[in-house]
Amino acid sequence: MSAAKNDLILVLNCGSSSIKFALYDAAVQPLARAPWWGGKVEGITGAHPQWSENGHAPQPLALDTQAPYHAALEHIRACVRAFVAQHCAGRGIGVIAHRVVHGGSKYLAPVRMDAAVLADLRSYIPLAPLHQPFALEAIAVLLASRPELPQVAVFDTAFHHTLPEVEKMLPLPYSAWERGVRRYGFHGLSYEYMSLALAERHGAAARGRTIVAHLGSGASLCAMQDLRSVATTMGFSALDGLMMGTRCGALDPGALLYLMEIEKRTLEEVGHMLYHECGLLGLSGVSADPRELLPLEAGNARVQAALALYVRRIVREIGALCAVLGGLDMLVFTAGIGEHNDTLRARVCDGLGFLGVAIDAEANAHHAPCISSAASRVRVAVEPTNEEWVAAWHAARLLQGARAAQTL
């Protein structure tokens, strides 16, 4: 097969218990926002893993219990090979793009993967233990089995390189700053997509004082000026900022000292708690998913408290970012909860009435692109995110650049 025919892009988004994938056709320019084909393996480490692909209901998937993550990756590779052979005769994958959560202060742009870069990125695993190891495992497997196939890492932290130094610094001894202990910010692929999509849909209105609320199982806010990151709620790790599904968000470090010094919790116990036992799940005792919590709210005081704190933390952090921006022109909701949960959007907006935020109930119920009312002083939008497309877009640019270099 000639190199000119290797114009497909495979995107892998690897988490701790799931692998999402998407296949894009780089021969079609501009690159289509929707993938040609895609899907995911979910529940990899659980008792009932599932496989799903676009347009089909999830199906049970048997995985090797000794190495379930590796087995899930191999299943995806086999399915991609079969799909390409059946639907893309004479063509092949030219590059694989990986969402990698942490690039530290060194990787501010997508990078071609090799053994040296892989080793470097492994040093960031302690900063993103829920995601970094799994993306790097997939990269390592593919480097070993297909060393000739280009792989590109696209970083969630990179979008926030525009943060001013005052936003990056932590009030620790200066030697910590020199060692790289600083605020990095996350969900950068989502926010980068927002910077493109909001300009397309809202034009100049999006270039003012904009706050994007990425609300999913992980959650954060990003304050943008001229669609560039100037402040964000996640900091050194993906634990900071908003209360999330199972993560705590911003927390008094004295509480952690108490748990370890007085209650004698180990470092491992506290770490597991902060990532897996806090947030909506920890407070409600029922679920990390608002879709499951909202129907139970009326009869369960803990569920009521969990949802009330979840909304309060979002409102509080939006207020803080408004202070940084000097006001607010546009508020945007994205990601799973932000895009689909009209009840929580309404509660957040009710808490922002002092800013002049007012929404149209019917538009909100239908998840319209603009849900603010005519009386609102702030434009309120709902915009689906598309992290996989951003990764594919960067990979396509690298692929085109490599081909251009070969023809010089």
DSSP string, 10-61: EEEEE-SS-EEEEEEETTSSSPPSS-SEEEEEE-TTSSS-EEEETTS--EE-
Distance CA 17, CA 128 (A): 14
Biggest CA pair distance of the chain: 70
Distance CA 345, CA 372 (A): 11
DSSP state of 207: G
Pairing of strands 37-42, 19-25: antiparallel
Tens digits of pLDDT across the chain (408 residues): 344 477 899 999 987 778 899 999 988 888 999 999 999 998 887 788 889 888 788 888 888 888 888 899 999 999 998 998 888 877 889 899 999 999 988 899 899 999 999 999 998 888 787 788 889 999 999 999 899 899 999 999 999 999 999 999 999 999 999 988 999 999 999 999 999 999 999 999 999 999 999 999 899 999 999 999 999 999 998 899 999 999 999 999 999 999 999 999 999 999 999 999 999 999 999 999 999 999 999 999 999 999 999 999 999 999 999 999 999 999 999 999 999 999 999 999 999 999 999 999 999 999 999 999 999 999 999 999 999 999 999 988 877 765 544 433
Q: Which residue has the tokens 């945007």?
A: 332
**111 three-state secondary structure:** strand
Identity (one letter) of the amino acid at 8? L
Residues with Cβ within 8 Å of 221's Cβ and at least 6 positions away in sequence, in order, are 211, 212, 213, 214, 232, 233, 241, 242, 314, 317, 318, 321
Marked catalytic residue, from 156, 240, 289, 329:
156
Contact yes or no for 367/382 (Cβ under 8 A): yes
Q: Taken in order 349, 386, 157, 254, is the CA torsion positive or negative?
A: positive
Residues with Cβ within 8 Å of 256's Cβ and at least 6 positions away in sequence, in order, are 270
As given in the structure block, the two tokens for residue 121 are 């990125």
Distance CA 274, CA 236 (A): 14
As given in the structure block, the two tokens for residue 137 are 């495992």
Contact yes or no for 182/380 (Cβ under 8 A): no
Which residues in 188-304 belong to E strands, given as ranges?
209-215, 219-225, 228-232
- Give yes or no: 156 in active site: yes
Q: Taken in order 104, 105, 108, 111, is the CA torsion positive or negative?
A: negative
Integer-rounded Cα radius of gyration of the chain: 22
Secondary structure percentages of the chain, helix, strand, coil, to 5: 45, 20, 35
